[in-house]
Amino acid sequence: MADMRPPIESGVPDPFQYMHPLMIKNFGNWAYHDRPRPGVLHHVAKSGDEIWTVRAGTQRQLGPYEINLLCDIIDKVGEGYVRFTIRSNMEIMVSKKEKVEPLIQALNDAGYPVGGTGNSVTMISHTQGWLHCDIPGTDASGVVKAMMDDLHEEFVKEDMPNRVHITTSCCQINCGGQGDIAINVQHTKPPKINHDLVANVCERPSVVARCPVAAIRPAMVNGKPSLEVDEKKCICCGACFPPCPPMQINDPDHSKLAIWVGGKNSNARSKPMFHKLVAAGVPNNPPRWPEANAIVKTILRAYKQDAKDWERVGDWVERIGWPRFFELTQLPFTKFHIDNWRGSRNSLNASAHIRF
C-alpha cells in the first residue's frame, strides 16, 4: 500500500486551455455562420473575427499512428487546435480562409474524408460491439465501416433534404441512440439458460426484477437453484443477460437486426421524436452486413427523392404518412409494426384521415 497514490479528483477539465484563441476571444459573442462548401463551417464573430472549421470523418478508434498523422497535418496546415463532434468527426479550426483548401487537401491525401456538415449523411454514432462490449449481439465499428464505405459520397456532399443522423446499437438497450435511421440488434428467441452456472453467477432476485414483462421466476433445475423463463411471455429483449450472463440471449442465427426510422433529437419544427420500427428479421451478417446496408440505402433513396427541403426523415414520413413510406420503400408491413407496449393506443389511427 505504501506506493498507492491517492487520485486527484479534478473532474471535468477546463476547456479554455485547449481552445483555439479566437474561440476564447469571441466566447459568447458570435454573430452568424455559413457553409462555404460541404465539410467547412465559417463562423463570424461580432468583433468581425472569422474562424473556419474543417470537418473530417475518422474511424473513431485512433491509435498513435493516426493521432500523429492527423496532428502533423493540424500543426503544419492548421493551427494546432482540434475538437470532436458528438458523432466522432474531427473539427479543425483555422483563422484564415487560405488555410482551408490546403487543409482539405492534406486530409484527403491522408485518406480522411472531409464532409459531414449540413444536409449530408454524417458519421454514424455507434457503440463498441464485439471489440469491447460484454453483451453485444453484433459488431459496431464493422457495421459502421461497411456502411460509411457505401455512404461516403453522401458524407462528402450535402445532397440530402436535411441532415441524416444514423445510429447503430449492438443490443436492444440502444446505446447508439435515436436516429433518422437506426440499425439495432433485435433478438428473436428467448435466452438459453446454463442452469449449472446461474446459482453461482447471478443474483436471482435482481434478474427477476430486470425483466420488463415479469417472465422470469426462480426455479430449482436439476437440484440446483436457477431461473426459468416463461417463453410465451418472453419478448426476447435481453434485459436479463447483463446481470446474468448464463442467460445467453445472443445467438448467431436468431439475433437479427431491425431498422428504425424517424428519430430526431432536435426541437426544430416538430418536437423531438423517437424512431419507429420499419424492418426486422435482417440477418446479422458480418463482415459487411449487405442486407442491412441495402435497406438503409433504399430508405435514403426514397427520402432523397421524395422529401422536401428541411424535412428530416421523421418530418417527411409525418407528411406523407406511413402507408406511403411502405409503398415507396417497398418494405413489408406486418403485425409487428403495430405497437402493443405501454401507451401504444396513442400510436393508432383514431380518425378518418386516410390517404388514397
- Judged by beta carbon, residue 320 or residue 329, the one nearer another protein is 320
DSSP string, 116-144: --SSSB-PPB---GGGT-SS-SS-SHHHH
Spatial CB neighbours of 203, under 8 Å, sequence gap ≥ 6: 243
Grid coordinates in use for 41?
463551417
Site for another protein in 311-340 (CB under 8 A): none
- Judged by beta carbon, residue 81 or residue 325, the one nearer another protein is 81
Site for another protein in 128-187 (CB under 8 A): 128-139, 141-142, 145-146, 148-149, 152, 172-178
- Judged by beta carbon, residue 142 or residue 191, the one nearer another protein is 142
Site for another protein in 50-89 (CB under 8 A): 51, 53, 57-69, 71-72, 74-75, 80-86, 88
- Judged by beta carbon, residue 168 or residue 329, the one nearer another protein is 168
- Judged by beta carbon, residue 110 or residue 220, the one nearer another protein is 110
Site for another protein in 269-308 (CB under 8 A): 269-270, 272, 274, 284, 286-288, 308
Asked whether position 2 contacts another protein by CB under 8 A, the answer is no
- Judged by beta carbon, residue 53 or residue 329, the one nearer another protein is 53
Buried b (16+ CB within 10 A) or exposed e, 207-216: bbebbeeebb
Least distance from C-beta 90 to another protein, angstroms? Answer: 8
The CA-atom distances, in angstroms, between 82 and each of 64, 71, 296 are 16, 9, 31
Q: How many CB atoms lie within 10 A of CB 71?
A: 14
Asked whether position 214 contacts another protein by CB under 8 A, the answer is no
Least distance from C-beta 339 to another protein, angstroms? Answer: 10
Least distance from C-beta 172 to another protein, angstroms? Answer: 6
- 198, 204 contact by CB (below 8 A): yes
| Binding flags for another protein, 9-38, as an x/- string (CB under 8 A) | xxxxxxx-xxxx--xx--xx-xxxxx----
Which of 255, 299, 314, 316 is close enough to bind another protein by CB under 8 A? 255
Spatial CB neighbours of 55, under 8 Å, sequence gap ≥ 6: 39, 40, 41, 85, 89, 90, 91, 92, 114, 115, 116, 117
Question: How wide is the angle at C-alpha 172 spanned by C-alphas 171 and 175, nearest 5°?
Answer: 70
Number of residues engaging another protein in binding (CB under 8 A):
119
Least distance from C-beta 327 to another protein, angstroms? Answer: 24
Q: How many CB atoms lie within 10 A of CB 244?
A: 26
Handedness of CA 331, 160, 265, 12 (dihedral sign): positive
Cα distance between residue 347 and residue 167, in whole Å: 23
- Judged by beta carbon, residue 59 or residue 298, the one nearer another protein is 59
